A and B are shown apart, each in its own frame.
Chain A
């Protein structure tokens, strides 16, 4: 066999014969048996990630009150949400902070509370129009009271990212956690060999329309994520040296599992959101399998100095993901403690759940409707 098709894989899912392994398991399998043998055996590899991503949010529709109101200024549990859509539509951004509590309670917390079945207080005002005469409304609403509620994350699943260090002589508080002064620690954000876009670095199977496991339900890749940077520098395995591609994701909030969607608060920085994502990769050919078999000691990240308050920050070192995971890295002769911001434990659970869903015939693979652009690069802001 030289190639495997989506149709053949989906047929095997239907008959229950499909063979699925996680992106961690495939590494050891290929090491033990070689590409040729594993290619014959394995149909699908599951990848996953669970880490904070600020560029997250949800679209909601509240339904019309009687008399109706055209909501212009809106808060949910005191967190401002967009009044810039139609009368009772809104977008709630994960990082928006509560007027009263600041970043300890943000948009991410509102979405999480809705998901947990809690009542959330809506307060909205409008100027009052002939067709929408009501000028102010206060209501307690639950997720089940809303018409539509879907998560839309403009940017998720960074292909690769940086590890963070602080070379200055004062502590820094960042979205990468607390960075202690004088290179006190290194924090990093990736699930390494489990990470979706590290396994398909040229976006052959992950594109617009790809079906994904999204916080417990089935969602889709909606578009290229913001700051999509496919025209980036790559190493010999095709892995971007820095950020690379990102994904815009969409899924039905009402079907999600609160176990896999959690607000995050970064001291001195703000609110963020961790949403669990699992992406199945069909083993279409041996070329793709080689990418899937790349191991943690072949995946590298730049360690970047976050004490430099500029857009591009200097790279202090380049370290492998296995070094980062080992708990410490050595930089210029100094042993420095490392800690992750993303949960490998949760990512593993997600890879398992997706694997099971495919085996149980509940999850079929969807070929991308449109392949991502390969020459897109991210610009800074115009000066």
Chain B
């Protein structure tokens, strides 16, 4: 099972190898999509976690014991293909490479990389991107 998690660190945990422990003790594959920290080790990690649902649950329990906040993120965006003109401008907004143009210059959206920042929604000139279910009147 793959899940996306936003892990927020208060500044008291800087010395603990939390991500290392998650990988080692709970057999989780962790792919860091985005990290932002200040000099006091306060900050957040946006990660994709791959592992059995049991291990993910136990890992979360461990993280919370350490005083770290972890939230599942299921926000994602939808590109309405009937409206999109495949200009590629939305890729300028996307920091996590979830939106990209392929060799054929077609727009590719990789849900697993999306951090749900919603920046692309306002950048798309065709208004083809929404963060809910598409309801496009034709």
Contact = CB atoms under 8 A, between A and B. Distances in A.
Given A177-B92, A178-B92, A178-B93, A341 B123 contact: no
Contacts of A267: 122-123
B86 A339 contact: no
B89 A177 contact: yes
Given A344-B105, A345-B106, A346-B86, A339 B122 contact: no
A50 interface: yes
9 contacts: A104-B127, A177-B123, A185-B92, A274-B87, A327-B100, A340-B101, A343-B85, A344-B88, A345-B85
A274 B105 CA distance: 17
A353 to B, nearest CB: 15
Given A274-B85, A338-B92, A346-B86, 6 more contacts: A177-B123, A187-B92, A337-B92, A339-B91, A345-B105, A348-B105
A218 to B, nearest CB: 22
Contact of B125 (A50, A341, A348): A341
A342 B105 CA distance: 11
A132 interface: no
A341 B89 CA distance: 5
A262 interface: yes
A51 B123 contact: no
Chain B contact residues: helix, strand, loop or mixed: loop
Interface residues of A, number: 29
Given A177-B92, A178-B93, A348-B105, A343 B87 contact: yes
Nearest to B119: A178
A50 B85 contact: yes
B104 interface: yes
Interface string B4-36: 000000000000000000000000000000000
Interface string B88-100: 1111110000001
B62 to A, nearest CB: 37
Contacts of A266: 125
Given A344-B105, A345-B106, A348-B105, A272 B125 contact: yes
Interface string A127-165: 000000000000000000000000000000000000000
A233 B61 CA distance: 66
A346 B85 contact: yes
